[in-house]
A and B are shown apart, each in its own frame.
Chain A
Amino acid sequence: MKILVQSEAFDLGAEVDALRQGRTDVGAIASFVGLARDMNEGSGVQAMTLEHYPGMTEKALAALVAEACGRWTLLDVTVIHRVGRLLPGDPIVLVAVASQHRGEAFAACEFIMDYLKTQAPFWKKEETPQGERWVEARASDDAAAARWDQP
């Protein structure tokens, strides 16, 4: 398992390669990359700054990866989340999951992202032509996380 909070960019190809390096039992790797958009809530976004809670962030990410490992049979997981100032098009977050079969990899990857959106202590502040604004949490993100609670 690899969990990183960093200001530097990451390389999706290198991270996916690392998950299968030196092993031949991996049958599936699903990955997700979240990017900074140039538009949100109807106005242009010139840049965003991601703040986090050092210490709790790593703990919260480790807890949700552990929860995913309890629900599915996973061979390895990588989660990288960037902090600091990002520009439109910059990658923000990477989740990559290795498993024997695609079903577990797809499901766990989506689960980790849905939980990360509602549980991990990160906050986005956007720079727009109208000034700076903190991004508000979305009810749709709570709904996306809640569907994993159903039996």
Chain B
Amino acid sequence: MKLRVLYFARLRERLGVAEESLDFAGTTAADLVAQLQARGGAWTEELAAGRAFRVAVNQDIVALDARLTDGAEVAIFPPVTGG
């Protein structure tokens, strides 16, 4: 399936990308994180288990076991700091 993946704030800067389209053969948000983590460098470091980041699917924050669907907008970002 195809996904649109967005990155924000510190993660966007560390990973050097704001948005990308990618082919995804897995099922869940955790599978996507594993696929991205396998890219090495900052990807491996920032998305490692125990690192604080959030995943949103179609603009709702989800748990990593959430299932992804074709065409979904997935966003990965640090814990929020507004207000």
Instruction: Check: B8 CB closer than 8 A to any chain A CB.
Output: yes
The tally of residues in B whose CB lies under 8 Å from a CB in A reads 17
CB-CB under 8 A for A137 and B83, given A55-B59, A56-B56: no
B76–chain A nearest beta-carbon distance, Å? 11
Residues of B within 8 A of A (CB): 6, 8-10, 52, 56, 59-61, 75, 77-83
The tally of residues in A whose CB lies under 8 Å from a CB in B reads 28
**A115 nearest CB neighbor, chain B only:** B83
Q: Mind listing 10 A-B residue pairs with CB under 8 Å?
A: A53-B6, A56-B56, A59-B60, A81-B82, A93-B82, A117-B82, A120-B80, A121-B82, A124-B81, A137-B78
CB-CB under 8 A for A118 and B75, given A53-B8, A123-B9, A123-B10: no
Check if A137 sits within 8 Å of B82, measured CB to CB. Answer: no
CB-CB under 8 A for A121 and B83, given A53-B75, A134-B9, A134-B78: no
